[in-house]
Structure 1
Amino acid sequence: MFWKQVRARTFHNIDFDRQRVIGNYIVDFYVKTLGLVIEIDGSSHDDKEIYDGIRQDYLESLGLKVFRITDFDVKHNLSILMKNLEEFIIENYGL
């Protein structure tokens, strides 16, 4: 559902990559031009706070920004989520 909102530059003409390898990790979505990682957290992330924290610290050490969302919000609050992403991008990148 999220991919349909951002693929083919449909979201503010931003080029999103899906399932991108960065170091030893695979991120859900990546915007190379912005250095932005988008992670969708579902039940597979339950009880993985330490791992996710280490992973996020690594990504941020590369100068990347991480925007985390839940799979619940993707399924039930997509329009709000997209607005929040837009605000995050404007706030952090001035677009």
Structure 2
Amino acid sequence: MTGEPPLVPPPAGGRGLGGGPARPFKQRATLRAKALRNSSTTPEQLLWQCLKGRKLGQKFSRQMPVGPYFADFLCRELKFIIELDGTSHDQNVHRDIQRDAYCRSLGFQILRISNDDVMTNLEGVVSHIKAILAQAHPQPLPPAGGE
């Protein structure tokens, strides 16, 4: 040993051993996501019981940040978002259009379901989601060998 400090990985937002400029730490919106999960509506809770634990064959997360927005339910692998719409969405139609356009520009497919449908026809909603998931597939990988 020559007395040099041991090599250790750089901190998340630090300069590390390369001596380059510090990268600012990009804080995830975890506090906001947690607050949204803790204040979920009854329709969100009911649908979550059907989606969690890969019950439909895919991993879903709830209240996940997608850029400046939060997806009610997100399947990262399929780039699939489920949004539940209640009465508040009737007043924010323009915002929903902007949000959908943003998410689609990132390659996400979005399914909007009304809270009323979840409350009155949960089985039908789940069947509809299953049908869509059966048709969905992740983005194809490029051919092997770089061709």
Whether 2:91 is the aligned partner of 1:47: answer yes
Q: TM-score, normalised by structure 2?
A: 0.60
Whether 2:100 is the aligned partner of 1:23: answer no
Q: TM-score, normalised by structure 1?
A: 0.92
Match of 1:64 among 108, 118, 126: 108
Q: CA RMSD of the aligned region, Å?
A: 1.3
Whether 2:2 is the aligned partner of 1:2: answer no
Specify every segment of 5 or more residues in structure 1 that has no aligned partner in the other structure, as ranges: none
Task: Mark the structure with the bigger radius of gyration.
Answer: 2
Which is richer in strand?
1
Q: Is 2:78–2:136's contact at 8 Å kept on the other side of the alignment?
A: no
Q: Percent identity?
A: 31
**Bigger relative contact order, structure 1 or 2, given CA contacts below 8 A and separation 6+?**
1
Match of 2:134 among 81, 86, 90: 90
Match of 2:117 among 64, 73, 82: 73
Q: Structure 1 stretch 41-50 or stretch 61-70: which is displaced more?
A: 41-50
Specify every segment of 5 or more residues in structure 2 that has no aligned partner in the other structure, as ranges: 1-45, 139-147
- The equivalent residue for 2:80 is 36
DSSP-derived class of the 1:11 partner: coil
Runs of 4+ aligned structure 1 residues displaced above 6 Å come to: none
Q: Is 2:61–2:73's contact at 8 Å kept on the other side of the alignment?
A: yes
